[in-house]
Amino acid sequence: MVSPEAEKSNYRRYLDPRTLAKIGALDIRARLIVEGFVTGMHRSPYKGFSIEFAQHRPYSTGDDIKYIDWKVFGRTDRHYIKQYEEETNLQVMLVVDASTSMNFAGEANPNWRKFDHAVSIAASMAYVALHQQDSAGLAIFDSKLRRLIRPSNNPRQWRILIDELTSTTGGAKTDAGMILDAVAEELRHRSLIIFISDLFDDPGKIIKGIRHLRYRRHDLIVLQVLDHEELEFPFRATTMFKGVELPSEVIVEPQAIREAYMEELRRHTDEIRTACHQLHVDYVQVDTGVPLDVSLPGFLASRESRMK
């Protein structure tokens, strides 16, 4: 029996060095510019009026006269506008599903739940963000928003997030749509929201929540975490399946129903994937059977290439 203290101290297992080494070699870049002026590597496409001077440009009609560099005018008798290079502060909000369905673990690795996989991803992302002086926050939910930690780049934030992730236990049915709405209401600044869930909910509600976040101009990455058994349905013997969220059970011959089941799953994910594409949201399906150090770098690399 592992004590809670020991479990907490074991949080670093979510930060597999191999995983982090690969993620560290890549840049997380936001597709949209969010507000903020902390130093970091995320250069803003906008030249504004901030702390760091960038360049001068000739004054043109309509420019605010308060930005005219009078010293230059005194030396050159010409009006120049003083421009500063603005660096944005990326706010990363990790939204992690802790519903009952996330407790499912396949027979191949019964100690590795979907929730474990989701937490590992969240921890990895938070680490990278904080390491780059970005802000990172966390939202944990099941049928309601269980915990919300607002984004911060405080040096203690990393510890706070990790403690929260390792201590969380879910217990109710997923209500992802409602949660996305709630997160949208809670975030004041435009943020990069990493939504990690198995998305076992009504696709319409999920898409409505995504649309709400996009309306608030948040950047969104949807990571659908599914167990390898859920993706492949590799069973042969007659099995009684008991729902972990739904109070139903059914006896089936898996081979006879496999294709139909997979088609249902495919239809569900396709609906969400299509909506994400239309809303310029990144959608990634993560297989818990595939190691994190394989799946995450692939996703981030593709995302970086799209940014360029």
Partner 1 sequence: MLEAFINLHPDLPMAVLPFVSPWLFAGGAAATSIPVVIHLLNRRRFRVKQWAAMEFLLAAMRRNVRRLRLQRWLLLLLRILAILILAAAIAQFTPVGAALAPLLGSSQKLTVVVINNAYPMSLKPHGRRTAFERARQLVVAWLKSGTVSGKTAIIPASVNASSIAPEPVIPSAELIRRVSRMRASQGGENLAGALQQALEIVKKQKNRSSSRTVWLLTDDGADNFGTIGGDHRVLSRRMAALLADIRRAGARVRIIDLGSATARNMAITSLTPAHPAILTDKPVAVDYTVFNAAKTAARDVTLRFYLNSTPAGDTTLHSVPPGRLVRGEALLHEQAGEAGPLAITARLAPDALPADNTRRVIAMAQRHIPVLIVEGRPGDPAVGQLASTAWLGAALAPYRHGNSFKPQRIGELELADHSLKQFSAVVLSDTPAPGTHVAARLRKYVTAGGLLVIYPGPDTTGSQWSDTMGTGANGLLPAAMGAVMTPAGKGKSSGDVGFDLLRSINPVTAVFLAAEKGGLHTGLASVRTHQYMLLRPMAGSDSRTLLYFSNGAPALVERTIGRGHVLLWAVSADTQWTDFPAQPSFPAFIHRLMLYAMSNPAAAANMLVGQSVQMETRAAAGNWVGPDHSTLAVSRALIGGRPELTSEGISRSGFYGPADAAPAIAVNVDARWADVRHVPASQAARLWHINPRDILHNPTSLAAAEPAEAGAGGNAGHNLLYLALAVLAIESITARAFSRYQLAAAKGK
Which residues of the shown chain bind partner 1 in the complex (CB under 8 A)?
100-104, 114, 198, 200, 226-227, 230, 235, 237-246, 248, 250-253, 255-261, 263-265, 268
DSSP 68: B
Task: Check if the beta carbon of residue 205 is closer than 8 Å to that of residue 233.
Answer: no
Nearest approach in angstroms of CB 256 to partner 1 is 6
**Is the CB of 37 or the CB of 261 nearer to partner 1?**
261
Give 100 or 120: the residue with its C-beta nearer to partner 1: 100
What is the helix (H) or strand (E) element at residue 83, kind and residue range? strand 80-87
Structure tokens at 23: 């993620």
Cα(294)–Cα(176) distance, rounded to whole angstroms?
27
Q: Which is nearer to partner 1, 160 or 257 (CB)?
A: 257
**Backbone dihedral region for residue 65 (phi beyond 0: left; psi -120 to 50: alpha; all else: beta):** alpha
Residue 20 vs 102, nearer CB to partner 1? 102
- Considering the complex, what minimum distance in angstroms separates the CB of residue 238 from partner 1? 4
Instruction: Please identify, using beta-carbon distances, which residue of 6 and 237 lies nearer to partner 1.
Output: 237
Residue 68 CB-density burial (10 A; 0-12 exposed, 13-18 middle, 19+ buried): middle
Compute the least distance from the CB of residue 227 to partner 1, in Å. 8
Cα 237 to Cα 23, 210, 240, 249, distances in angstroms: 41, 39, 10, 16
User: At its nearest, how many Å lie between partner 1 and the CB of residue 94?
Assistant: 21
Give least dist CB 90 to partner 1, A: 33
CB 111, min distance to partner 1, A: 15
- DSSP class per residue in 201-213: S-HHHHHHHHHHH
> Residue 72, exposed/middle/buried by CB under 10 A (0-12, 13-18, 19+)?
middle
Closest CA to 250 of 231, 235, 263, 271: 235
3-state secondary structure at position 222: strand
Q: Which long-range contacts (CB under 8 A, 24 or more apart) does 249-253 make?
A: none
Name the residue nearer to partner 1 (CB basis): 164 or 230. Answer: 230
Give the residue with the Cβ less far from partner 1, 9 or 239. Answer: 239
Closer residue to partner 1, CB minimum distance, 65 or 237: 237
Secondary structure letter of residue 58 according to DSSP = E
